[in-house]
Chains A and B, each alone.
Chain A
Amino acid sequence: MRSVSIIGYGITQFAEHWEKSFRELIAEAGTMAVQNAGLTGKDIQAIYGGCMASGRFIGQEHIGALIADQLGLNPIPATRVEAACASGGVALRNAFLAVASEAYDIVAVGGIEKMTEISVSEAAIALGGAGDQETELFHGASFPALYALMARRHMHEFGTTEEQMAMCAVKNHKNAVGNPTAQFRKEITVEDVMQSGYVASPLKLLDCSPITDGAAALILCSTEKAKKMGFSNAIEIIGSAQASDSLALTGRKSLTEMTATKVAARDAYAQTGLKPSDIDFAEVHDCFTIAEILAIEDLGFFKKGEGGKATEQGKTALNAEKTINPSGGLKAKGHAVGATGIAQVVEACMQLQGKAEGRQVKGAKIGLTHNVGGSGATCAVHIFRRVQQ
């Protein structure tokens, strides 16, 4: 396989976009990415789009063709990828493979979700479809409930506390203040989280990522071609891995680790020859605060059971021992589910180019993104570095 790099990116504001439609968000992020790369639409040979549940959220399927249509890129092939909240990360991996395999030289990959056009309880049903419909959602197990089951077990086995989980949210809100495209640019306190009311105990409202509208897009190009075209700021994808696990929590080996994360991380590290300690920062999938604790353990940044304590000790803060979620994470940047896996990569590119003003990780050379689908049934891990000149 040949090397692949990112030569352009675009992202919309993450927010409740009552005034913008699904297709407007796609067009906004897509054109921004093409322009950022300094290309024209004619240069794009194929499109991959991550989207989880547009059928449930806006009654629209057939998203691949819609994206190409809205960007004025017909008749190039356009493919929708769905892997619940990992739709974006898995779309990126498919786009990466399409270029690495030499099927195409330049492709666009995007992620999109428009979640605020239905009620919260209807949205809970749409998101619940990321778990096991027949044995979880059927019994009233909402998505927060599934993560709450993991959180309670983590507390039981390792003594993780609700305050330590709250500190993930506090840290991510603080980072989001420096991110202009984040949904919540407002600091919160541990007390705010603790008093925010249970959604599914032990998880409270401010342990949960919000309902968000947003889109993000990347332009991928073979590294060799990017060099020939004179891109001096390209970001190379040096690791790309994906793994799966049982759809239902009851089928898992453990409730306190995500095997799919461990396997995807192992494979991505092996491709790059890097160790967890070589990673300068990571955008991890903190759909709930407990998910960030599981992620930083399963990615090998901290020992199993010590993620809560590491967070409490401030080791995951911006420019501390291991910067986690400089963008504000899903919690504060927002979680437009299908867009999240691509938005994480936009953040990684900005950090590696030194353009993340207000939240810049000093001297960032290697970044990692971690995108989870459902309660851990899919995981995509990617590792990036700035292309050396």
Chain B
Amino acid sequence: MSNGALPLIWRKFPERYLLRGNKCTNCGTAFFPARKVCPNCRRKGKLVEEDMPKEGEIITFTEVFTAPAGFEIETPYFIAIIKLTNGAKILSQIVDSAREKVKIGAKVQKVFRKISDIDPEGPIAYGYKFKVVG
């Protein structure tokens, strides 16, 4: 499947390893993943590369019991939407955290993990997950 494609995995190294996105210097909005066009300012926008902060808080979450192909072995696992400290939102798995600590408002921090190796002959995809801190 396309997620296992080598060019895509290679192209995504900065985004998935470093949380590299960008920011519009015209309106100040941070984007993750990076955008080619600022949706607020369009042609007037000026986008510059920016690494996202590695901390944020959970604004909503779910525990997945029925997984899409390739994730069955990980069930149950947590997926959350996190608001990073610069306001950008990111969807990620939450790992290494006690179940009762995964809740709305919990502070989280980025960790580096293997995400998928769906194709046994293809590349392994690594990237970000988050864990609850404190």
**Which residues of A does B touch, CB under 8 Å?**
119-122, 124-125, 128, 133-142, 144-145, 148-153, 156, 197-203, 248-251, 255
19 additional contacts, CB 8 Å, given A139-B91, A140-B67, A145-B79? A122-B69, A125-B1, A134-B12, A135-B33, A138-B125, A138-B127, A139-B92, A140-B68, A140-B71, A140-B93, A141-B91, A150-B60, A152-B61, A156-B60, A200-B63, A200-B65, A249-B91, A250-B88, A251-B89
Measured CB to CB, the nearest residue on chain A to B66 is: A199
Can you list 26 A-B contacts with CB-CB less than 8 angstroms, sorted by A residue number? A121-B68, A121-B69, A122-B69, A124-B68, A125-B70, A134-B3, A135-B33, A136-B91, A138-B3, A138-B115, A140-B64, A140-B67, A140-B115, A142-B67, A142-B68, A150-B60, A152-B62, A153-B59, A198-B65, A199-B65, A199-B66, A203-B62, A249-B81, A250-B88, A250-B91, A255-B60
B interface bracket (residues with beta carbon within 8 Å of A) = 35 or more
Any chain A CB within 8 A of the CB of B90?
yes
- Asked if A141 and B65 make an inter-chain contact with CB atoms under 8 angstroms apart, the answer reads no
Cα(A137)–Cα(B68), bound, Å? 8
Chain A positions within 8 Å of B81 at CB level: 149, 249-250, 255
- Asked if B69 and A149 make an inter-chain contact with CB atoms under 8 angstroms apart, the answer reads no
- Asked if A133 and B33 make an inter-chain contact with CB atoms under 8 angstroms apart, the answer reads no
Residue of B8, B70, B116, B125 with most chain A CB atoms under a 10 A cut-off:
B70
- Asked if B104 and A156 make an inter-chain contact with CB atoms under 8 angstroms apart, the answer reads yes
Cα(A303)–Cα(B81), bound, Å? 25
Contact with A along B80-101 (1 / 0, CB 8 A): 1100000011111100000000
Tally of A-B residue pairs with Cβ under 8 A? 113
Identify whether the interface residues of A are mostly helix, strand, loop, or mixed: helix
Measured CB to CB, the nearest residue on chain A to B118 is: A125
- Asked if B104 and A152 make an inter-chain contact with CB atoms under 8 angstroms apart, the answer reads yes
Cα(A138)–Cα(B70), bound, Å? 10
Cα(A119)–Cα(B71), bound, Å? 14
Cα(A347)–Cα(B12), bound, Å? 45
Cα(A301)–Cα(B99), bound, Å? 37
Residue of B8, B66, B67, B90 with most chain A CB atoms under a 10 A cut-off:
B66
Cα(A72)–Cα(B91), bound, Å? 47
- Asked if B62 and A145 make an inter-chain contact with CB atoms under 8 angstroms apart, the answer reads yes
Measured CB to CB, the nearest residue on chain B to A201 is: B63
Q: How far is the CB of A89 from chain B (nearest CB, A)?
A: 24
- Asked if B59 and A255 make an inter-chain contact with CB atoms under 8 angstroms apart, the answer reads yes
Cα(A128)–Cα(B66), bound, Å? 13
- Asked if B3 and A149 make an inter-chain contact with CB atoms under 8 angstroms apart, the answer reads no
- Asked if B62 and A125 make an inter-chain contact with CB atoms under 8 angstroms apart, the answer reads no
Measured CB to CB, the nearest residue on chain A to B16 is: A138
Cα(A201)–Cα(B93), bound, Å? 14
- Asked if B63 and A250 make an inter-chain contact with CB atoms under 8 angstroms apart, the answer reads no
Any chain A CB within 8 A of the CB of B119?
no
Residue of B72, B89, B91, B104 with most chain A CB atoms under a 10 A cut-off:
B91
